Amino acid sequence: MAPTTVLAGGNRLAVETDAGGWEVIGFANAELVSPQTYELSQLLRGLQGTDAAIGPVAVGRRIIMLDRKTTILPVGGAWLEGDHALRVYGGSADVTGTPLSLTSRREVVLPLAPVHLQALKQPDNNDIVCRWVRRSRADDNGWVAEDAPLVLLPERYRLTISLAGVTRRTIDCDAPEWTYTQADQIADFGSVPEHFEFAIAQIDPVFGPGNLGAGEFYG
């Protein structure tokens, strides 16, 4: 399959990770290397908002082929963070169904991690402007260079400045940009820092901060 076809949505798999999450991947090539065993290559990882689930996958983990028969079912907030007993049916001829236990997680509705994180020192002073790009679960997974839909109102983000795992400052802001002034830097580090880590999470007004996008500044 051509890579452009994969970019358009072809060849999708949901892969169960060792942590119990599910990552959606796309693949351009599948080579049969032994009976009932394929080697996949030219992968697209963390699709459909599953990048937070990326992690090790041991032999024997479940895989689901995502084709036109699969669909997304909306569920109410009461279904989150709980265990549920379901019964699934394999078509109209299946009159008894199969019992299934499902554990729902709050992570599936949390805001996606912001991307394209930057921290740029201004040429006329030591202020550092931090910028990022939001993402949205309402996006259609297109590849065009447009802003993701803004569905979480009010628009808010939580930014954390740290060094070697020690938090130096946490602030909330209402735009995908924040200026770290020289005065604030000196208050946090004792001098203008040459390096620090920063993380951004968009805030859901109901469920709180979402998945983290991480970056680093080097002066």
For residues 164 and 143, which has the higher predicted lDDT (pLDDT)? Answer: 164
What pTM, to 2 d.p., does this model score? 0.76
Residue 141 reports pLDDT greater than 60: no
Do 52 and 127 have their domain in common? no
- Total domain count, the chain: 2
* Chain centroid, CA 201 distance in Å: 11
Q: What are the tens digits of pLDDT across the range 14-57?
A: 999 998 888 999 998 889 999 988 898 899 998 888 888 899 99
Angle CA(69)–CA(71)–CA(76) in degrees, nearest 5?
A: 155
Let me know if residue 96 belongs to a domain: no
Q: What are the tens digits of pLDDT across the range 72-105?
A: 777 777 777 778 888 988 888 888 999 988 777 7
Q: Which residue has the tokens 């880590």?
A: 197
Taking a C-beta distance cutoff of 8 angstroms, is the pair 143, 156 a contact?
Answer: no
Neighbours of 177 (CB within 10 A): 11
At residue 149, the pLDDT reads 75
Do 139 and 63 have their domain in common? no
Supply the range of the domain harboring residue 176. 115-218
Q: Which residue has the tokens 């599953």?
A: 50
Looking at the DSSP bridge assignments, the partners of residue 85 are: 101
Do 128 and 205 have their domain in common? yes
